[in-house]
């Protein structure tokens, strides 16, 4: 394993084959030779789960194994009519596989279309290629914002600042001079140059460090962790409950010896299987996976790439949205406005200096607009230069004597270029006045000769000498996105706090903030941010617009909000947003973002439309809010079946349902309706505490339903001579009406689609007892009038009690829950 910062002077691959010069790059024949030899930058790994992993996750589970065992047992015993649950479980697994595979195909296709690229020199000319098409000895052209995709050696004439935090955890950029190693996974924060690939694919430092590079992973999901806890409890309850139910069934068949010898244990097995199968909330696990997968597919339809499917849950929990100004609220396009006299006689050659800055290949959007206003004809050769960094906020170039613009020229933010000297105070005040009008302002200053020290020392210190004289001030305009005001208004209505965090001058940021509805207040100058973490948290709570924010401060501000208990989403498109995007609960990158920014984001807005964000948030809320509602229905069923099984087993009574009866009941009152309800719109913001809210409703509601079933069975046994079929029909009617009411509560507020789904459920329940082939198959019939009246009365009483439980649950959980939900 190589170490960060090692030299390559003695590596064989550091010399160009065939005696060619490095800047010529490889030929097509060279690339073909290296590709054939496997010296290509391709590593094992996928952007999402493979088809086998999807099948394994949806099929090879403990509960599916139990279902399969029960299914095979009933087929062996020739009780196929009661094995319908097997087909239901198979259908659930197939739906899960198909939905997630469709999501995988969509996400993989988008990931391929928007994969990171590298700029290389091949056949003597620059060209862009996919990062995995790099081969050993390729010449890579580096600039700010690029992600290093293979292990490189920086060649002569290059100087870059690199963020190696992905590999070392050190967030401070590291200066790299010619001959230094650039490791795959690091980010170019500033500078430019050429570098040679000397290790590619599985041989790279990053691959050896991580063993396997996979971009698919699961974010922390409270929904999934809560369901895992529930499933672990059910697993522990399943075996003892099954043992008690088996004993009760055999005792009712005449005892163990008589039942085994006479064959009467076979009908008793049906009750045991019905009890075991109904305790398992298979559909809930399926619907959770489907909701995440469908969320990813729907967001793909909105041109939003979901890097991790469970990020839709984070979307639903977001209560603070931090926005970078440029590229998010503004379109990112900068237009040159005007040149302003800085108050001192202009030095000769300032136009030629601006031509150089505008033509520089690492020029930013702002300096490129200078290039459009001052097109370069015969570009002056530079004796030395200092690249721009967001931390330093200026760049510089030195031209030799007699060049037409002799001396050193510094271009950058007025606060960085003009501060610290009384001779620059007048220009500094003028720059402040221009910035207060909403114009972006840059200062151009000049000094004879060159800056003291060498180029690397300039990059490290960032200090400017007092003899630097202001020459001109340049102003620029940026367009605000037409959808910005409307989009921000949506977030405010949804209870999401919006904060602008920008590196621009606070006065400029304040003007833009006023135009998008932030009021007349001034922007907070981040240079005055308190160092104390507690004070920083309070400052973040009290203010919403910040200017002059450094990349490190953006990260600190996000962390401060998270310490306050907020779920933070951060949008951005620049390299200076990377640190904050990495630490935010949800990083959202724009389409114009650098490869580094896209790499750390959970979501990428592929068409760069800021107005996509409301749909993104709405999709997350829809998915998670509906999962929570549906989970209460499924968990209620698990509770009432478990308690019914234990109660009848302890009383040595036969289990009151056949497997086929519970299968059709589950399908009509839970499975099919819940599947459609899980895909319905929902605007309710998710709040932490999913498992608590679910259990606060599900446990008492399940207990109530179990008591109702027990009451009907007790009446049937004590109040008259009713056969086993009549008892089964009466208990099914009572349980069906209660389960249907739980579903009605989960569906509120009702709309025409939900009403249609519920009407179909009730219609299906009526058909079970009226259509001869159906009622014969499921062994259901209308019970005697007294038993029918008792089952309906008990069901109505139980439904009213569960209604009260739902209302109590909403009060207890602060409005989040079942009855009357939004």
**What's the sign of the alpha-carbon dihedral 744, 750, 751, 755?**
positive
Element (H, E) at 473: strand 469-480
Given this model, what pLDDT does residue 106 score?
54
Given this model, what pLDDT does residue 213 score?
29
In SS3 terms, 546-558 reads as EECCCHHHHHHHH
Terminal Cα distance for the chain, rounded = 56
Q: How far apart are alpha carbons 344 and 329 in whole angstroms?
A: 36
Identify the burial level of 786 via C-beta atoms within 10 angstroms of its C-beta, where 0-12 means exposed, 13-18 middle and 19 or more buried.
Answer: middle
Residues 6 or more apart in contact with residue 509 via CB below 8 angstroms = 325, 500, 502, 523, 545, 546, 547
Asked if residue 419 is part of any domain, the answer here is yes
Task: Kindly calculate the radius of gyration of the chain based on its CA atoms and give it in whole angstroms.
Answer: 34
More confident residue, 453 or 98: 98
- Based on the fold, state whether residues 397 and 508 are members of the same structural domain: yes
- Based on the fold, state whether residues 502 and 386 are members of the same structural domain: yes
Given this model, what pLDDT does residue 604 score?
83
Residue 498 maps to which CATH number?
A: 3.40.1110.10
More confident residue, 535 or 676: 535
Given this model, what pLDDT does residue 394 score?
86
Residues 6 or more apart in contact with residue 213 via CB below 8 angstroms = 43, 45, 206, 207
pLDDT mean across residues, the chain: 78
Question: What is the percentage of the chain residues whose pLDDT exceeds 70?
Answer: 77
Pick the closest to residue 443 from 385, 394, 408 (CA basis): 394
Q: Which of 12-26, 228-242, 306-320, 456-470 has the lowest mean pLDDT?
A: 12-26
Residues 6 or more apart in contact with residue 512 via CB below 8 angstroms = 325, 329, 330, 438, 480, 500
How many whole angstroms from its chain centre is CA 103? 14
Pick the closest to residue 289 from 342, 218, 190 (CA basis): 218
At 700, the pLDDT band (50, 70, 90 cuts) reads very high
- Based on the fold, state whether residues 420 and 553 are members of the same structural domain: yes
Per the structure, the count of domains in the chain is 3
Asked if residue 642 is part of any domain, the answer here is yes
Q: How far apart are alpha carbons 141 and 528 in whole angstroms?
A: 38
Asked if residue 229 is part of any domain, the answer here is yes
How confident is the model over 646-661, as pLDDT tens digits? Answer: 888 888 877 787 777 7
Identify the burial level of 28 via C-beta atoms within 10 angstroms of its C-beta, where 0-12 means exposed, 13-18 middle and 19 or more buried.
Answer: exposed
Given this model, what pLDDT does residue 214 score?
35
Pick the closest to residue 404 from 368, 445, 356 (CA basis): 356
Mean pLDDT of all residues in 414-428: 83
The pLDDT of residue 459 is above 70: no
Q: Which of 34-43, 103-112, 146-155, 717-726 has the lowest mean pLDDT?
A: 103-112
pTM tops 0.75: no
- Based on the fold, state whether residues 672 and 788 are members of the same structural domain: yes
- Based on the fold, state whether residues 201 and 231 are members of the same structural domain: no
Q: Are 470 and 189 in contact (CB under 8 A)?
A: no
* Per-residue CA distances from 793 to 163, 308, 446, 786, 788 (Å): 70, 49, 92, 11, 9
* Per-residue CA distances from 566 to 106, 489, 544, 584, 682 (Å): 31, 20, 14, 10, 21
Q: How far apart are alpha carbons 720 and 729 in whole angstroms?
A: 15
SS3 181: strand
User: Domain span at residue 487?
Assistant: 319-566
Would you state the structure tokens that stand for residue 508, as one six-digit string? 């400029």
Q: How far apart are alpha carbons 678 and 682 in whole angstroms?
A: 10
User: Domain end: 159, 183, 210, which one?
Assistant: 210
At 268, the pLDDT band (50, 70, 90 cuts) reads low
Other beta carbons less than 10 A from residue 267's beta carbon:
17
Residues 6 or more apart in contact with residue 18 via CB below 8 angstroms = none
- Based on the fold, state whether residues 526 and 432 are members of the same structural domain: yes
SS3 203: helix
Residue 648 maps to which CATH number?
A: 1.20.1110.10
Other beta carbons less than 10 A from residue 181's beta carbon:
24
- Based on the fold, state whether residues 512 and 631 are members of the same structural domain: no
Element (H, E) at 162: strand 159-163
More confident residue, 617 or 786: 786
Given this model, what pLDDT does residue 819 score?
44
Given this model, what pLDDT does residue 335 score?
79
The pLDDT of residue 113 is above 70: no
Given this model, what pLDDT does residue 453 score?
59
Q: Are 612 and 589 in contact (CB under 8 A)?
A: no
Residue 197 maps to which CATH number?
A: 2.70.150.10
At 188, the pLDDT band (50, 70, 90 cuts) reads confident
The pLDDT of residue 76 is above 50: yes
Given this model, what pLDDT does residue 217 score?
41
Given this model, what pLDDT does residue 243 score?
83
Residues 6 or more apart in contact with residue 740 via CB below 8 angstroms = 669, 758, 761, 762, 765
Element (H, E) at 304: strand 304-306
| Alpha helix stretches (DSSP H) within 500-656 | 506-515, 533-542, 551-563, 578-583, 595-600, 612-650
Given this model, what pLDDT does residue 443 score?
93
Identify the burial level of 679 via C-beta atoms within 10 angstroms of its C-beta, where 0-12 means exposed, 13-18 middle and 19 or more buried.
Answer: middle
Which residues make beta-bridge pairs with 323?
500, 571
The pLDDT of residue 179 is above 70: yes
Which residues make beta-bridge pairs with 330?
480
How confident is the model over 778-815, as pLDDT tens digits? Answer: 888 888 888 899 999 999 999 999 999 888 877 876 65
Given this model, what pLDDT does residue 371 score?
86
Asked if residue 178 is part of any domain, the answer here is yes
Which residues make beta-bridge pairs with 410?
396, 445
Pick the closest to residue 735 from 774, 701, 694 (CA basis): 701
Pick the closest to residue 153 from 113, 123, 182 (CA basis): 182
Would you state the structure tokens that stand for residue 162, as one six-digit string? 């690199």
- Based on the fold, state whether residues 384 and 512 are members of the same structural domain: yes
- Based on the fold, state whether residues 333 and 191 are members of the same structural domain: no
Contacts 24+ apart (CB under 8 A), 759-766: 760/673, 761/668, 761/669, 761/672, 761/673, 764/668, 765/668, 765/669, 765/736, 765/740
Given this model, what pLDDT does residue 746 score?
81
Mean pLDDT of all residues in 340-361: 82
Q: How far apart are alpha carbons 443 and 418 in whole angstroms?
A: 7
Q: Is the peptide bond before 202 cis (omega within 30 degrees of 0)?
A: no
More confident residue, 432 or 4: 432
Would you state the structure tokens that stand for residue 623, as one six-digit string? 């998915």
At 456, the pLDDT band (50, 70, 90 cuts) reads very low
At 581, the pLDDT band (50, 70, 90 cuts) reads confident
Q: Is 473 left (phi over 0), alpha (psi -120 to 50) or beta?
A: beta
Q: Are 811 and 805 in contact (CB under 8 A)?
A: no
Catalytic residues: 324
SS3 172: coil
Given this model, what pLDDT does residue 73 score?
72
Pick the closest to residue 693 from 746, 629, 744 (CA basis): 629
Mean pLDDT of all residues in 252-274: 68
Q: Are strands 320-323 and 568-572 parallel, antiparallel or unpaired?
A: parallel
Q: How far apart are alpha carbons 304 and 603 in whole angstroms?
A: 7
Pick the closest to residue 284 from 236, 242, 241, 229 (CA basis): 229
More confident residue, 232 or 501: 501
Mean pLDDT of all residues in 384-411: 84
Q: Are 250 and 269 in contact (CB under 8 A)?
A: no
Asked if residue 250 is part of any domain, the answer here is yes
Helices 785-812/690-718 angle, 10° precision: 160
Q: Which of 20-34, 761-775, 800-814 has the lowest mean pLDDT?
A: 20-34
At 474, the pLDDT band (50, 70, 90 cuts) reads very high
User: Domain end: 183, 210, 237, which one?
Assistant: 210
- Based on the fold, state whether residues 655 and 794 are members of the same structural domain: yes
Asked if residue 804 is part of any domain, the answer here is yes
Would you state the structure tokens that stand for residue 52, as one six-digit string? 């086998």
User: Domain end: 210, 231, 259, which one?
Assistant: 210
SS3 208: helix
- Based on the fold, state whether residues 236 and 331 are members of the same structural domain: no
CA angle 394, 400, 406 (to 5 degrees): 70
Mean pLDDT of all residues in 551-564: 90
- Based on the fold, state whether residues 159 and 278 are members of the same structural domain: no
Residues 6 or more apart in contact with residue 708 via CB below 8 angstroms = 734, 735, 738, 794, 795, 797, 798
Would you state the structure tokens that stand for residue 803, as one six-digit string? 């209604």
Asked if residue 217 is part of any domain, the answer here is no
**Tokens 């919006």 -> residue:** 498
Q: Are 341 and 375 in contact (CB under 8 A)?
A: no
Asked if residue 474 is part of any domain, the answer here is yes
């Amino acid at each position: 394993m190589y170490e960060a910062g090692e030299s390559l002077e003695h590596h064989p691959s550091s010399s160009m084959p065939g005696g060619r010069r490095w800047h010529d790059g490889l030929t097509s024949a060279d690339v073909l030779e290296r590709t054939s030899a496997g010296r290509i930058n391709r590593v094992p790994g996928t952007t999402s789960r493979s088809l086998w992993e999807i099948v394994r996750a949806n099929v090879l589970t403990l509960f599916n194994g139990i279902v399969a065992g029960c299914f095979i047992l009933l087929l062996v015993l020739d009780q196929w009519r009661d094995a319908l649950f097997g087909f239901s479980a198979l259908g659930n697994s197939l739906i899960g596989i198909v939905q997630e595979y469709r999501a995988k195909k969509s996400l993989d296709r988008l990931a391929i279309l928007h994969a990171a690229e590298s700029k290389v020199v091949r056949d003597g000319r620059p060209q862009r290629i996919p990062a995995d098409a790099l081969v050993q000895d390729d010449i890579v052209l580096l600039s700010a914002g690029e992600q290093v995709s293979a292990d490189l050696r920086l060649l002569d004439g290059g100087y870059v600042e690199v963020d190696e935090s992905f590999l070392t955890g050190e967030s401070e950029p590291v200066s790299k001079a010619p001959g230094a190693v650039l490791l795959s996974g690091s980010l170019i924060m500033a500078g430019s140059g050429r570098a040679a690939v000397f290790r590619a694919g599985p041989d790279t430092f990053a691959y050896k460090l991580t063993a396997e590079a996979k971009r698919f992973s699961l974010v922390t999901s409270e929904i999934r962790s809560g369901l895992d806890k529930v499933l672990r409890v059910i697993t522990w309850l399943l075996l003892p409950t099954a043992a008690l139910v088996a004993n009760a069934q055999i005792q009712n068949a005449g005892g163990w010896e008589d039942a085994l010898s006479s064959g009467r244990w076979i009908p008793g097995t049906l009750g045991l299987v019905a009890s075991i199968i109904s305790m398992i909330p298979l559909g809930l696990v399926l619907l959770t996976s489907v909701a995440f997968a469908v969320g990813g597919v729907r967001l793909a339809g909105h041109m939003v790439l979901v890097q991790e499917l469970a990020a839709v849950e984070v979307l639903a929990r977001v209560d603070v949205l931090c926005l970078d100004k440029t590229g998010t609220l503004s379109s990112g396009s900068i237009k040159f406005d005007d040149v302003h006299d800085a108050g001192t006689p202009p030095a000769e050659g300032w136009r030629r200096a601006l031509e150089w800055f505008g033509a520089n290949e690492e020029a930013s959007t702002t300096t490129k607009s200078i290039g459009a206003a001052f097109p370069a004809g015969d570009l002056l050769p530079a004796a030395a230069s200092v690249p721009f960094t967001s931390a330093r906020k200026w760049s510089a170039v030195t031209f030799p004597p007699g060049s037409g613009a002799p001396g050193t020229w510094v271009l950058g933010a007025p606060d960085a270029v003009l501060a610290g000297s009384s001779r620059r105070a007048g220009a500094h005040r003028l720059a402040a006045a221009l910035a207060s009008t909403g114009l972006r302002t840059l200062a151009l200053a000049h000094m004879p000769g060159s800056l003291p020290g060498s180029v690397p020392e300039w990059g490290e210190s960032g200090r400017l000498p007092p003899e630097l004289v202001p020459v001109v001030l340049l102003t620029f305009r940026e367009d605000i996105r037409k959808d910005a005001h409307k989009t921000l208004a949506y977030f405010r209505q949804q209870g999401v706090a919006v904060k602008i965090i920008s590196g621009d001058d606070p006065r400029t940021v304040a003007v833009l903030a006023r135009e998008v509805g932030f009021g007349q207040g001034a922007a907070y100058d981040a240079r005055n941010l308190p160092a104390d973490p507690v004070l920083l948290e309070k400052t973040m709570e009290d203010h919403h617009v910040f200017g002059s924010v450094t990349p490190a401060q953006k990260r600190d501000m996000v962390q401060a909000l998270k310490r306050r208990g907020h779920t933070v989403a951060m949008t951005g498109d620049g390299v200076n947003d990377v640190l904050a995007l990495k630490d935010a609960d949800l990083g959202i990158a724009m389409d114009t973002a650098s490869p580094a920014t896209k790499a750390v984001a959970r979501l990428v807005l592929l068409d760069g439309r800021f107005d996509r964000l409301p749909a993104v948030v709405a999709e997350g809320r829809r998915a998670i809010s509906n999962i929570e509602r549906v989970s209460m229905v499924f968990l209620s069923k698990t509770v009432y079946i478990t308690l019914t099984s234990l109660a009848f087993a302890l009383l040595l009574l036969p289990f009151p349902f056949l497997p086929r009866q519970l299968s059709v009941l589950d399908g009509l009152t839970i499975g099919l309706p819940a599947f459609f309800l899980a895909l319905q719109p929902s605007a309710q913001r998710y709040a932490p505490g999913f498992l608590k809210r679910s259990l606060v409703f599900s446990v008492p509601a399940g207990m109530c339903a179990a008591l109702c079933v027990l009451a009907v069975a007790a009446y049937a046994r004590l109040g008259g001579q009713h056969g086993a079929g009549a008892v089964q029909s009466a208990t099914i009617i009572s349980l069906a009406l209660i389960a249907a009411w739980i579903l009605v509560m989960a569906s509120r507020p009702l709309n025409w689609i939900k009403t249609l789904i519920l009407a179909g459920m009730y219609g299906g329940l009526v058909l079970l007892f009226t259509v001869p082939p159906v009622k014969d198959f499921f062994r259901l019939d209308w019970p005697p009038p007294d038993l029918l009246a008792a089952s309906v009365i008990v069901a109505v009483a139980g439904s009213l009690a569960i209604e009260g439980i739902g209302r109590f649950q909403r009060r207890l959980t602060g409005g989040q829950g079942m009855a009357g939900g939004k």
